[in-house]
Amino acid sequence: MNRLRTQVGIVGAGPAGLTLGRLLHRAGIEAVVLENRSRDYVEHRIRAGVLEQGTVDLLRELGVSKRMDREGIVHDGIYLQFAGKRHHLPMRELTGRSITIWGQTEIVKDLIVARLADGEPLLFEVDEVAVHDLESERPRITFRHEGEAHELACDVIAGCDGSHGVCRPAIPAGVLSEYSREYPFGWLGILAEAPPSSDELVYTHTPDGFALLSLRSPSLSRSYLQVDHDEDLGAWPDERIWAELQRRTALEGWTLVEGPILEKGVTGMRSHVVEPMRHGNLFLAGDAAHIVPPTGAKGLNLAIHDVRLLGEALVEWYGSGSRALLDAYSETCLRRVWRCEHFSWWMTTMLHRLPGDDPFDLKLQLSQLRHVTTSEAAATMLAENYVGLENV
């Protein structure tokens, strides 16, 4: 057994783990990042792509925004389409803030390059990761790497290993409260070599279900269709996907541009939160602690927000010896988590075809959509949540 020592052991090299590693490095705090997948895999896992202003600002502060600033696309609004009409929601006009379209994969690539350039430890393809002695002053992570067994002694462990990781399940039974909501639908997402058909994202409500037109770059569009949560992807050849997208987004005088589909997949949707986001010296961040349905574009932004707070708390602790921010970490994070959980649930239930096709539900959805597209107060409520609330 090879015995190693660091200040902060970070499990997971997704956006949360890598951003935390960068924050700590900039503050002179040692960390080791352990990732069970290959570098190639984590750099090509297509996921989120809508960044709140606060996320953009943090990436800038951390010196990993050069490509994002050059190639990211700033959007000042979104469209909501229902009952055959498309309505613009001018988020910047309503809130003073915008969103930036920039893929999670690109953020991950830049954070990996920065960490390796700094010569900071980041190990890919680690196996048998396990966390121990979480309630002690010296929690440990054991793992195998390149055939050798290692033990990493830490002051603190950051569980940034996503919803299927090992950190959350290592917390003893009875400690965590779990809150969940399963949705009986999922999103079929495609990445297509086709220029975006709209200048901003289009969220559509139709009697046949929800669709979203998004993008990754001026030549790559990303689109989603509401499907069953366990939909068989094999039943969706490319022609059927395009035909359904055309049908759900149709608008007179406007055309949806098609192109070769480069990637497609079905993701089930759920809401999930565990409380507290800490056990002893294990701190959970990002998807390891909470999942939101993607309708509000919050998953990635929440993960980054968690580690900003965790980073600040660790800097305070190592700097002044005060554990005040660390002790407040879970409660502070959960305030924003629950705001985003509510917003994501609200957007999801407003825009999707709901189980049972109850006409009462449909009338409520259309009333809500009319309200947010005609009342400035209601539109501002949606917009400020979408761009990211500042003081939550």
Q: 244 or 287: whose CB is closer to ligand FAD?
A: 287
Residue 352 a catalytic site member: no
**Sheet of strand 50-51, all strands in order from the earlier edge strand to the far edge:** 50-51, 99-101, 73-75
Task: Please tell me whether residue 59 binds ligand FAD under the rule CB under 6 A.
Answer: no
261-275 vs 220-228, strand pairing mode: unpaired
The site map against ligand FAD for 149-188 (x = CB under 6 A) is: -----------xxx--xx----------------------
Q: For residue 189, what is the enclosing H or E element?
A: strand 177-192
Task: Please tell me whether residue 132 binds ligand FAD under the rule CB under 6 A.
Answer: no
Task: Please tell me whether residue 348 binds ligand FAD under the rule CB under 6 A.
Answer: no
Q: How far is the CB of 385 from ligand FAD (least distance, A)?
A: 13
**Which one of the spans 12-20, 68-76, 133-141, 230-238 is the region binding ligand FAD (CB under 6 A)?**
12-20
Residue 203 a catalytic site member: yes
Give residues with Cβ within 8 angstroms of 69, minimum separation 6: 60
Identify residues 72-131 at the interface with ligand FAD (CB under 6 A).
Answer: 104, 126, 129
Identify residues 245-284 at the interface with ligand FAD (CB under 6 A).
Answer: 267
**Sheet of strand 148-153, all strands in order from the earlier edge strand to the far edge:** 2-5, 148-153, 140-145, 127-132
Do the beta carbons of residue 138 and residue 153 sit within 8 Å? yes
The one among 300, 333, 347, 383 contacting ligand FAD by CB under 6 A: 300
Alpha-carbon gap, residue 272 to 107, rounded angstroms: 24
Counting residues that bind ligand FAD (by CB under 6 A) gives 33
DSSP secondary structure string, 58-100?
Answer: HHHHTT--HHHHHH-EEES-EEEEETTEEEEE-HHHHHS--EE
The one among 32, 34, 64, 337 contacting ligand FAD by CB under 6 A: 34
The one among 52, 244, 287, 341 contacting ligand FAD by CB under 6 A: 287
Do the beta carbons of residue 197 and residue 257 sit within 8 Å? yes
Q: How far is the CB of 45 from ligand FAD (least distance, A)?
A: 7
**DSSP letter assigned to residue 198:** S
Query: Rule CB under 6 A: which residues touch ligand FAD?
Result: 11-17, 34-37, 42, 47-50, 104, 126, 129, 160-162, 165-166, 267, 286-287, 294, 297-300, 303
